[in-house]
Amino acid sequence: MASNSRKTKRPSGDVNSTEASLAISTSPDGRQVELSDLTNAELRQELENVGEKPGPINTSNRELYEGMLGRRWRTINIWSRESREGARDESVNSRQAEQTSPSPRKKARTGTKQKPKPVLKDITVKGVVPAAYTPFGEDGEVNLPAIDLLVDYFLRSGISTVFVNGMSGEGLALTVSERKATAERWLKAAAGRMTIIVHVGSPCVKDAKELASHAEAIGAHAISAIPPVFHKPATISNMLLFFKEVSAGAPSLPLFMYNNPDATGVHFDSVEVLKNAYSKVPNLRGAKFTSFNLTEFTGCLQLHDGFYQMMYGRDEQLLAALALGATACVGSTYNYTGRLNNRLLAAYRRGDMAAAQKEQYRSQAAVLVMKKYECIVGSAGVGKAIMQLIGLNLGPPRLPSVALSADQLKELRKDLTEIGFFDWH
């Protein structure tokens, strides 16, 4: 806990006044603290005191954690003030009721004011959304600085939204602290220039909820969650209970269901899931829909007058999904075919179907090459190899995925050259 002998002073005026920089914040016990004066250990302790579970704090993520602490203190102070005001109101109302009530048995009952409900952020996801790879060093540790390079590369490719820590990002192969650190770096590197959707799904609902709370605290725009893939939900109702608990960790963020039945083995009709979710999980606002079932996809699009945002996830069928009403797509190949698929979208929007088909055929050729090696080293292994061939070394994948051998990398380059990939990707 930070000592009161550090740069602190008693507040003057409204203890809930907000400094623009969040540099000076009012703690729940009334201290005004210059957050930059706290040591990393003190900052961690203060965060833990308000229920947060921070990852490692260092110079690269310190600013995010200072902002997290300032926001949490302000929220606690607001709730505390409204609770006191509510208690005063209750006392006044009780006295008035005693004076006017003809009988003690008919005293007016008034409750304290409820805590303010968080306002759900409203985002619209459109266009090409890469399911970003997570960079590693040769030592197998997450290479956070490489995320900065990915952000710059995506921006140059016309990408405005990124999906992080998903299956392509090897999210389930990362520790909770690694996932937090990775999400923090994406937010810091993007610096408001991109929409960041953080995947928080986990086999452990408590971990998923903790990651959701962390994503909200660091300023993510939305979260997504895959259902548990080992202890699978037996019914749609059970799965929605899981999503409801996860979304409770981030009440201000929209939640996107991660639907990938071929990978998860969780096979529920998404239309029925979203029908039931409409009243049971109000934060659930759409899905990352990775399935070839376009009938099911369009059924989701039509629910409740288009209420749900559906991001289509089969890259090789994007054009068909666009024709059926898709406005956003998310997938792993968009890491290295972002420009191509932006051209596909532009051609479709201007009604040039021949040009759109040409780009879709190229995308399909790239997917077929990727699948040839995916069955040998895993999707992250071949995806990172392709990124290396276009000039972005994201390191090896994490086991059980493995990197391509030198001979396999040479063969991959040959296969990509034959389809013209390096000319049009």
Active site residues: 258, 288
Q: Within a 10 A sphere around the Cβ of 35, how many other Cβ atoms?
A: 24
| Under 8 Å between Cβ of 177 and 56 | yes
Place of tokens 């600013």: 63
Place of tokens 């070839």: 292
**Which helix H or strand E contains 151, and what residues bound it?**
helix 145-156
Pair type for strands 32-34 and 8-9 = antiparallel
Q: At what angle are helices 406-418 and 379-389 packed, to 10 degrees?
A: 70
**Which helix H or strand E contains 105, and what residues bound it?**
none
Looking at residue 366, its amino acid is: A
List Cα–Cα distances, 279 to 26, 133, 283, 304, in angstroms: 38, 34, 10, 12
The C-alpha atoms of residue 35 and residue 90 are separated, in whole angstroms, by: 36
The C-alpha atoms of residue 195 and residue 190 are separated, in whole angstroms, by: 8
* Sheet of strand 24-26: strand arrangement: 8-9, 32-34, 24-26
As a residue count, the chain comes to 425
Class of residue 282 by CB neighbours under 10 A (exposed 0-12, middle 13-18, buried 19+): middle
Backbone angles phi, psi at 264, to 5 degrees: -95, -25
